[in-house]
Amino acid sequence: MHINEMLADAERTGHPSFSFEYFPPKTAQGVQNLYDRMERMYDFGPKFIDITWGAGGRIAELTCDMVVQAQAYFGLETCMHLTCTDMGEEKINDALRRAYKAGCTNILALRGDPPREKEKWVATDGGFQYARDLVAHIRKTYGNHFDIGVAGYPEGCDDNKDEDLLLDHLKEKVDMGATFIVTQMFYDADNFVRWVGKVRERGITIPIVPGIMPIATYASFMRRANHMNCKVPDGWMAALEPIKNDDAAVREAGKTLVAELCRKIMSAGIVHLHFYTMNLAQATRMVLEELDWMPTTTRPRKQALPWKQSLALGRREEDVRPIFWRNRNKSYVSRTQDWDEFPNGRWGDSRSPAFGELDAYGIGLTGTNESNRKRWGEPKSVQDIASLFVRYIQRELPSLPWSEAPLTSESDSITDDLIKLNQRGLLTINSQPAVDGVKSTHGVYGWGPPNGYVYQKAYLELLVSPELFPEVIRRINANPDLSYYAVTRSGQLTTNTPSDGPNAVTWGVFPGKEIVQPTIVESISFLAWKDEAFRLGIDWAHCHDANSPSRALIDKIMNEWYLINIVNNDFRQQRTIFELFDGLGVKDIDVPVTIPLRESGQTNGIHIEANGTSTVNGNGAVAGA
């Protein structure tokens, strides 16, 4: 989606909007930390993000990689910076091709700063002299595919303080095809409003997006203001100078000052603000909270579908997905990225493309062995593992091997039921409550256009011990409203479904549209998910030493237990799916795993190379307890 369209929507509705800027970190760990932060800040509700260009070498590559991540995996509309610095036409074209293939539709075209070793800016051989030349090249090469932004300078730039000359340059960039303007950071609202008037006097009518830098610490505030030759109002200095050594106090005062700046800007007719985050969340979040722009349960962030959409090339119209990857969005996008078409409207024939191989797409368990042992401990009994699941449900743990993010508020209505199941050794890895027609604007369950209604069937996916499995299946088959798929790591698929067709477990009814069915259960994708689910468990087991009780316990569960998904097709029944398990629980759940040494050196399929005694218990079951 073009930024121009987003800004027009904000103007039309009168609802203010905002966006974030990020820059490529210098270290691999910094990159991963930023990806985690970007995903969290997605929930703040930005209309788009932009990513700065690191001229030359690895950093330039990283900018392109970050655009792919943001578009494809985080569903963030992304604007890629592109500069003329150290960039010949061939490199420019390569960067544009990569942006196009990533699904990116917005570019911020800049001349760029001179390299550190040079005092003055000089064009690269075969490169572009000015930003206007870059704008013209993009427009000539890609037509209207890209919305093209350019920089505006309310207080001048490093090598030019002549306002009239800078406005002439801005007009030239617009004449070459620029469609929006993003300003350098500033803190003087009155000067910005004056400058906007001068811009409009030049006949420049495209949208202007002011750049705002939140205040994280006094030192960073002064460093950036001095670097940009940014005027700081006297009142700001009077408020911040006495508390400059107290970072918390500076952030508190800073949020008030910056929020007031934003209000003055908005009162002058601006509808969108662009925050220079410096890859940090707290100071930006505080300003948004002060402005009361953060999503809440009564004013939720709008989403078109109940899952996070990918904005990769060719995926914008995708509107159907299996529920199994509900907690592993990136994995699903990765394993389907080579498909020629994606499910749209109906699941139909799009079930047929093969899911990507697990190794090829790197979708196994993340984190080092040491970090995962620290996160999930060293379980020695089924109860220890069950306790991890309970802590996750209670939001005391941020993740599990099968869930890469914390549990959402959607599960609040079934939290007690989930806890009770896990306390008895029925390990739940995915679920959703039944929803019988709530408004599409509902703060927890809502999605899609306004004035619609959304529905959900109760869904439960869990690991079940082999001793409990026959009784669970008997109970499912006794209820005609329940359908299931079940499989072991190496076993045959069993099901009571009458066909291979998809079963919609989430759907919405909206004015003027066909019924939308965005989340389904079906066999082909479940078998693909089965391989991944058991692989994640094996990866977790292998975080522990080969002869350890934790390794033996997790391996045994992965090799012998069943993965079952259950749907209650009567969406008006909230509790039936949980009552199914009444009286069922793993026997000897609290008995630690022990492996007795036998003469053959083998026991329960586990090779023992060290002296010691133990036996793997805790996999029996008792019915009717």
Query: Partners of 273 in the beta sheet?
Result: 18
Pairing of strands 516-521, 602-603: unpaired
607's CB contacts (< 8 A; 6+ apart) are 601
Q: Which of 182, 205, 177, 202 is nearest to 192 (CA)?
A: 182
| DSSP codes of every residue in 4-60 | HHHHHHHHHH---EEEEEE---SSHHHHHHHHHHHHHHGGG--SEEEE----SHHHH
SS3 579: helix
Alpha helices in 202-246 (DSSP H): 218-227, 234-240
304's CB contacts (< 8 A; 6+ apart) are 447, 448
CB 400 within 8 A of CB 387: no
Name the DSSP letter for residue 154. Answer: T
597's CB contacts (< 8 A; 6+ apart) are 603, 608, 611, 612, 613
Which of 5, 21, 89, 357 is an active site residue? 21
Give CA 515 to chain center in angstroms. Answer: 27
Q: Which of 514, 448, 18 is nearest to 271 (CA)?
A: 18
Name the DSSP letter for residue 342. Answer: -
b/e string for 46-82 if b means 16 or more Cβ within 10 A?
A: bbbbbbbbbbeeeebebbbbbbbbbbbbbbbbbbbbb
- Structure tokens that stand for 214 in this block: 């939140």
Sign of the torsion angle spanned by Cα atoms 109, 115, 120, 123: negative
Name the DSSP letter for residue 346. Answer: B
337's CB contacts (< 8 A; 6+ apart) are 72, 312, 356, 361
Element (H, E) at 206: none
- Helices 282-291 and 247-267 meet at what angle, rounded to 10? 50
- Structure tokens that stand for 538 in this block: 């094996």
SS3 621: strand
Residue 198: is it exposed, middle or buried by C-beta count within 10 angstroms (0-12/13-18/19+)? middle
Element (H, E) at 358: helix 358-361
d(CA 154, CA 130): 19
Give CA 557 to chain center in angstroms. Answer: 30
Residue 318 is among the residues annotated as catalytic for this protein: no
Our CA dihedral for 584, 588, 590, 594, rounded to 10 degrees, sits at -140
d(CA 118, CA 128): 17
Q: Which of 564, 562, 568 is nearest to 459 (CA)?
A: 568
**Active-site residue numbers?**
21
